[in-house]
Amino acid sequence: MSQSSPTQPGHLYVVPTPIGNLEDITLRALRILKEVDLIAAEDTRHSKRLLNHFEITTPLISYYREKEVQRSAELVDRLRMGTIIALISDAGTPGISDPGAVLVREARAAGIEVTPLPGPSALTTALSAAGLTDTGFLFLGFAPSKQSQRRKLLTSLTSAAHPVIFYESPHRMADLLKDINATLGDRQIFWARELTKIHEEIRTGSATELLALCGADKIRGESVLIIEAGLQQSTEADNLDELLIWYRDQGQLSLKDTSRKIAQDLGLSRSEVYQQALTMWKDRT
């Protein structure tokens, strides 16, 4: 793939790279990385290990989040002059919780053709192993690092109609699980860690159960958390009374736990829900 004529603009390829196992790179990705004029990489030191493994000698230029706007302007100028560029991140697909969106947006605005390649993503890899039957999901990337912002976001998701997916770093896993439990209740969570790597771990448990694991062992590697949808247990639960009857008949939670969960999900006073639950459950046999 030789450089375009100076009278013609270049081309931007968005190229996913393995999230762990190097065998997951596609043949097309390898060809593109070998043929382009330049590779824009999130971390050139990290990417050199991948490129050296496949004997790819294409020049690299750094493209990391702190310099994303500035570097995008430079790369778009090169694209206008005919340079053919491949955009990669440290792992997975650029623009999915990784740098890349700014360059793609600016390149398209400048009339540059942008070609996305399919490939590795921690999001889709985790989803494929979660066994979800829902027709949709809500992906929010990494949760806010500050607890106040994190809890505010989680609270807004109490009645989310679909499973909610977060990425999380190892040193914040415990804090996120604590906040999930405090705002959303002890919901079931699918947890995938170190996907495609030697120490890959996939499990399902409540927020409390997974939090206990964080205390038992030091968590390594980034994780994908898929939190069960709120208020999906009963499609006919149109009001508080119906919800209370449904939980009562299920018999899986105590009156106290039921009151807490419904209050969180509906944004109601826990004491008011508890008093209503006492009335609804008094005839339970």
Domain ranges for the chain: 11-120, 123-227, 240-281
Determine whether 239 is exposed, middle or buried from the number of CB atoms within 10 Å of its CB (0-12, 13-18, 19+). exposed
SS3 at position 14: strand
Distances (CA, A) of 209 to 30, 177, 178, 191: 41, 10, 11, 11
On average, the pLDDT of the chain sits at: 89
Instruction: Please report the pLDDT score of residue 262 as a whole number.
Output: 80
Instruction: Please report the pLDDT score of residue 239 as a whole number.
Output: 67
Give me 56's structure tokens: 């790819």
Lowest-confidence pick of 95-99, 155-159, 184-188, 216-220: 216-220
What does the alpha-carbon distance between residue 181 and residue 136 come to, in Å, rounded to a whole number?
A: 23
What does the alpha-carbon distance between residue 83 and residue 11 come to, in Å, rounded to a whole number?
A: 7
Q: Above 90 in pLDDT, residue 222?
A: yes
Closest C-alpha to 121, from 88, 103, 99, 96: 96
Q: Above 90 in pLDDT, residue 91?
A: yes
**What is the CATH number that goes with domain 11-120?**
3.40.1010.10
123-227, which class in CATH? alpha beta
Closest C-alpha to 182, from 204, 158, 212, 215: 158
